[in-house]
Amino acid sequence: MNRDREAERWEEDYSRRGRVWGGAVHNLPPLSRGERVLELGCGNGKTSRAILGLTSDVVGIDLSASAVRLCRAHAPGSSGGQLALADARSLPFFDAVFDAVVAFHVIGHVPEEERVRSAHETARVLRAGGTLFFSGFSPEDFRAGTGCETEPGTFVRKNGIATHYFTEDEVLALFQGLTPCECATRRWTMTVRGQTLPRAEIGATFKKNP
C-alpha cells in the first residue's frame, strides 16, 4: 500500500467529516497515574481525552494532520498530553519507553504485512512488564463484507479506507511476541432508522515479559 496515498485518504476523511467520533469511551484501559502511554491513531481525540483523565503522560499519534489538529482542539490544556504526526508502522520512539500502548481500531486499517510491522513496533516501544490494549472489528460486525475485499477479511469501502475484521485467533497470532492476558469478542447492537444492527469487536490485552 502506498503510504502517502493512505495518509491522503485519512486526511480527506477527517477534513470532510471533522470530529465525527463522539460519545463515551467504552472499555477504557485500566491505566494508573504516572504511567507513560502511547495511543496509536488518536483521531479526533475522543479516546485521548478519556485517557488523560487517568494519566497525564500520554503521547497520541496519527497519520493525518487534520486528525492531530482535531485531537488538540478536543483535549485543550491537558497537562502532559503530547501529539505527533507519525505512522504506527514506523514509530519515531526509542525502544522500551512506554508503560502502555493503546491501539483501538487502528492496526486493522492496513494490509496484513503492515499489521505485522505495526505489531512489532508496538512490542518494541513497550517497556518490560508493559501492557498493550487492543481492539479491532470482528467478522460478526454488520459492516464486515461491505466493499471490495482486498485480502481475506479486509474490505475497502467507498472512502478508500480499508478495514480488516479480526478473528480472536488472528489477534493472538499477530501479537505472538507478547503474552496474552485476555482476548474476547465484545458484542452490542445499534439502531439505525429503526433497524437493529449487530456490532462486534475483538478486545485483547497483552503483556511484555520482563
**pLDDT tens for residues 32-79?**
888 999 999 988 888 888 888 888 899 999 998 888 888 888 764 445
CB atoms within 10 A of CB 205: 18
Are residues 9 and 63 in contact, defined by beta-carbon separation less than 8 angstroms? no
Are residues 61 and 39 in contact, defined by beta-carbon separation less than 8 angstroms? yes
Q: Which residue has the higher pLDDT, 51 or 11?
A: 51
Strand order of the sheet with strand 98-104?
81-85, 58-62, 37-40, 98-104, 126-137, 195-207, 179-192
SS3 1: coil
Asked whether residue 22 carries a pLDDT value surpassing 70, the answer given is no
**pLDDT tens for residues 140-156?**
999 999 999 999 999 99
**pLDDT tens for residues 155-200?**
998 888 899 999 999 999 999 999 999 999 999 999 999 999 999 9
Asked whether residue 109 carries a pLDDT value surpassing 90, the answer given is yes
What single DSSP character describes residue 90? B
Asked whether residue 95 carries a pLDDT value surpassing 90, the answer given is yes
In angstroms, how far is the first alpha carbon of the chain from the final one?
35
Are residues 20 and 44 in contact, defined by beta-carbon separation less than 8 angstroms? yes
Residue 1, all three cell numbers? 500500500
pLDDT of residue 77: 46
When pLDDT is averaged across residues 101-127 and rounded to a whole number, the result is 97
CA distance 205 to 166: 15
CA distance 96 to 127: 4
Give the pLDDT band of residue 25 (cuts 50, 70, 90): low
Are residues 175 and 126 in contact, defined by beta-carbon separation less than 8 angstroms? no
